Amino acid sequence: MSKASSWSKASSWNKAISWFQARAENVAVGLLAVMFLAFILQILFRYVFNNPLSWTLELSLTTWLWLVFWGGAFNLRNADHVRFDILYAESGPKVRRILALVSAVAIVAGLVTAFPATVDFISFKKIRTSSAMNIRLDVVFSVYAIFAVGVATNYGLRILAIVRGRDPDLVAPPSSEEAKS
């Protein structure tokens, strides 16, 4: 395979990732907008009309739950996640590569191992609905399965990149903002 051909494939891959990240950001923005509108309606009806709406609180909580897990899976880069990296930051490149690989393998193994039980629990929740909006709870909590797949995929790709010799600090694809510039 020629260098031009591999560069073209890498460029196409980066464009596809950037497109997906932009759509994931669109979903997050939509969730945030719905949550904000429900919150404003809740304030309006409670304090102006003195007639609180129960469904606005439930919608705000559900969109917040989805926003947190969706954003954690698709909108945050590895460097954006909260982490304890005192040892990692003080280590040399070889030790950092090993630590990055071990942590990525542990994350993927944990999520993959827990996935069947996660799906089982989410499926079990279909027997109940939310109190105000009557949304099945398996739909509400299904975002965690999406989160688990997204994070496991992200760290699986990180494992491949580290094994192929890339610097673990440079493995993450560019954010959609970085891709635009």
Structural domain range at position 83: 3-180
Mean pLDDT by 10 residues, the chain (181 residues): 55 84 95 97 95 94 96 85 78 88 95 98 96 95 97 92 82 53 50
Domain count, the chain: 1
Q: Classify the phi-psi angles of 164: left when phi > 0, otherwise alpha if psi is within -120 to 50, otherwise beta.
A: alpha
Digit-coded pLDDT (tens) for 15-37 = 888 899 999 999 999 999 999 99
**Entry pTM:** 0.82
Burial group, residue 102, by CB count within 10 angstroms (0-12, 13-18, 19+): exposed
List the Cα angle 141/146/150 in 5-degree steps.
150
What's the Cα-to-Cα distance from 78 to each of 103, 128, 172, 173, rounded to whole Å?
A: 12, 35, 7, 9
pLDDT at 171: 58
